[in-house]
Amino acid sequence: MIKKYLIVGSGLFGAVFAHEAAKRGNKVTVIEKRDHIAGNIYTKEVDGIQVHQYGAHIFHTSNKEVWDYVHQFADFNRYTNSPVANYKGHMYNLPFNMNTFTQMWGIKTPQEALAKINEQRQEMAGKEPKNLEEQAISLIGRDIYEKLIKGYTEKQWGRKATELPAFIIKRLPVRLIYDNNYFNDDYQGIPIGGYTKMVKNMLDEPNITVELNTDFFDKKEEYLKNYDKIVYTGMIDKFFDYKLGELEYRSLRFETEEKNIDNYQGNAVINYTEAEIPYTRIIEHKHFEFGKGDEGKTIITREYPADWKRGEEPYYPVNNARNNELYKQYRELAQKESSRVVFGGRLGQYKYYNMDQVIAASLESVKDEFDKQ
Ligand code: FAD
Ligand code: UDP
């Protein structure tokens, strides 16, 4: 039976679901409160450069199904993320690998590096790490923790490293080879021509209508009445009018500048790891596409972490015990609505998803919706 779907949000979760619902012959309306599609992966061309408007986005995955899936909508370049850290003017390669250890300690071999790391880990010997600081020291030792982790992390999360959960730091790989690839995944790249074009291709189906500058909450009851099914990718607590309390988020402020030079910093991403500099990183957008852009021009963006309050962009869910517990209660409310509303994505599922994970989650919801009867 053909159904009428309303997709709230044109980010990756919404766009994948919209595409799949439309392909199955359903009538799909996508509403988006911003003035553009693609959610946080939106890219905009300025001076021939694809500008990542909401922060650096590098596609990486080991999920072959997802990698094949996105290739229907875009070709990818061979960009490999290899950020560099600037700590008080000294440059260190990331992630933590032989290049970093050589720069930090002047050592040359994996054996020397391991000996140094083990010596530094001693202060945590026999203790179970209880917070991010202890986790970092037991993983890599105090020198690297103090110079490359502490300042960055405390700026990013607005809290002391001793008050943060250990799991945040488990994402960072440690390698005893000279390899600056930030990710361990099998596949990596940036869609040629930008992410917006990729999402536009997902939404480019005759039975999909997109309405920009349209907020679900302006006509919530009407939408619930007029559509067979709603796929909601906004904040889950807001959907229920915050009736169980507010979930917490971290926000960001981006400061973008056009420079009349060809090459500002020589790398797409430079992290500023000391506490005294208020931003966490500077992105130079053209380096995601190997310098493509108008001659004599480059665009850079400084990323400042910020506290979140209602009305600001909720970039990161804060998955601590209090918020996860509250989310569980909201999810129970959501389950009661499941015959008419699907909750999805970073905000709808309150999860720190990467792009590949959000696509996989959306395809999972598609399966639940269409293949399990
Ligand atoms: P979103 O992209 O947030 O889309 C939700 C959409 O819903 C938005 O467009 C919003 O405007 C709209 N919306 C919300 N409420 C309403 C409403 N009431 N009415 C109408 N519309 C509404 N992932 C990676 O894999 N690699 C990276 O390098 C990477 N870097 C990142 C860097 C930053 C700074 C951030 C914040 C995230 C990064 N991510 C990265 C994660 C990636 O952005 C997400 O996984 C992905 O964008 C989530 O898609 P989504 O559809 O769930 O959410
Ligand atoms: N991190 C750090 N120093 C760095 C980069 C990252 O200490 O130079 C820590 C920080 O706590 C951050 C976590 O590692 O929150 C995860 O970083 P990643 O770059 O994977 O996360 P993103 O911000 O891109 O989601």
pLDDT at position 372: 77
Please say if the pLDDT value at position 274 is more than 70: yes
For residue 40, give the ligand 1 atom closest to its CA: 2
Q: What is the pLDDT of residues 116-154, one digit of tens each?
A: 999 999 999 999 999 999 999 999 999 999 999 999 999
DSSP H/E element including 142: helix 142-144
Enclosing domain of residue 141: 97-169
* SS3 state of residue 360: helix
Amino acid present at 297: K
* Total structural domains within the chain: 2
Q: Facing residues of 179 across strands? A: none
Question: Tens digit of pLDDT for each residue in 93-120?
Answer: 999 999 999 999 999 999 999 999 999 9
Contact at 8 Å (CB) between 156 and 250?
yes
Q: Is residue 115 part of a domain?
A: yes
The three-class DSSP label of residue 235 is coil
- Asked whether 190 lines ligand 2 (CB < 6 A), one says no
Whether 28 contacts 21, CB under 8 Å: yes
Both tokens of 146, joined, read 């103090």
Q: Is the pLDDT of residue 172 over 90?
A: no
CA 264–ligand 2 middle distance (angstroms): 23
Query: How close is the Cα of 172 to the center of ligand 2, in Å?
Result: 7
How far is residue 208's CA from residue 8's CA, in Å, rounded to a whole number? 13
Task: Say if 213 falls within a structural domain.
Answer: yes
Q: At what angle do helices 12-23 and 195-203 cross, to 10 degrees?
A: 30
Distance 54 CA to ligand 1 centre (A): 9
- What is the 148 CA–ligand 1 centroid distance (Å)? 27
The pLDDT value recorded for residue 167 is 83
d(CA 59, CA 189) in angstroms, rounded, equals 5
Q: Which of 137, 169, 201 is the last residue of a domain?
A: 169
Average pLDDT over residues 166-184: 87
Q: Chain-wide mean pLDDT for the chain?
A: 96
- Confidence grade of residue 296 (pLDDT, cut at 50, 70, 90): very high
Contact, 75 vs 84, CB < 8 A?
Answer: no
Ligand 2 atom closest to Cα of 148?
3
This model's pTM is above 0.75 = yes
Give the model's confidence band at 373: pLDDT under 50 very low, under 70 low, under 90 confident, else very high. Answer: low
Say yes or no: 70 and 104 in one domain: no
pLDDT at 13 over 70: yes
Residue 125 shares a structural domain with residue 158: yes
- Cα–Cα distance for residue pair 309/161, rounded to 1 Å: 22
Interval 223-244 mean pLDDT: 98
Find the ligand nearest to 53 CA: 1
Q: Which ligand is nearest to the CA of 343?
A: 1
